[in-house]
Amino acid sequence: MTFKLGLTGSIGMGKSTTAQMFTDEGCAVWDADAAVHRLYGQNGAAVAPIGNIFPGVVVDGTLSRDALRAIISQDASALARIEAIVHPLIADDRARFVATTNAEIVVFDIPLLFETGGDAGMDAVAVVHVDAETQKARVLERGTMSEDQFYAILEKQMPSAEKCDRADFVIETDTVEHARAQVHSVVQQIKSGL
């Protein structure tokens, strides 16, 4: 039997680093963001259908995220139309991944797991967490967004405290060593129950 573990957490909480730790523990990890990049990239399954609805968003055979953001900001119905195309393609990508792995534990790295109801399909959910000050510092240190953009993203996400309350496991990512020890513990707990 394959155990399905959802992995989620708000922006800047250390989810990508934690996902790698699960890989290091021998888990198979499916990354929702990477799936979207595949779908939007060269010859991606979402390129033609989205390009047909929104002419001008395909640049050099890939979907331009900047062009899509501009359309979404101007057209209130655009996001729902894009999601209607992308969500089934993501589900297909995830199903293909599961069908090709024989790992005991499959980790689904999904940023908006609770927000999209994806937790219903999981055997358990792990949430990565760190204090708000560290979270903000991590995001701003990347140099990829402004403080206003950071807060705009936070507003779209479920509060971290609520995610932690709903989780089966909470992984504090205050230090790499602490997070790694907690990931090991989660994997051992899951394996002992299989």
pLDDT attached to residue 180:
98
Q: What is the pLDDT of residues 39-51, one digit of tens each?
A: 999 989 999 999 9
- Beta-bridge mates of residue 189: none
* CA 143 – CA 59 distance, rounded (Å): 25
Q: Do 194 and 119 fall within a single domain?
A: yes
pLDDT the model gives residue 1 = 73
Do residues 135 and 151 both lie within one domain? yes
For residue 139, the model assigns a pLDDT of 92
Do 91 and 113 sit in the same domain of this protein? Answer: no
Number of folded domains in the chain? 2
Structure tokens that stand for 9 in this block: 């957490």
**pLDDT reported for residue 59:** 92
Question: What pTM does this model have?
Answer: 0.89
By DSSP bridging, strand 3-8 and strand 124-129 are parallel
User: Which domain covers residue 41, as residue numbers?
Assistant: 34-102
The Cα–Cα gap between 66 and 112 comes to: 21
CATH number at residue 164: 3.40.50.300
Q: List, for residues 42-80, the tens digit of each pLDDT value.
A: 989 999 999 999 999 999 999 999 999 899 989 989 999
Same domain, 73 and 16: no
Q: Which has the closest alpha carbon to 30: 2, 5, 65?
A: 5
10 CA to centre of own chain: 9
Whether 62 and 13 map to the same domain: the answer is no
Model pLDDT, residue 194: 66
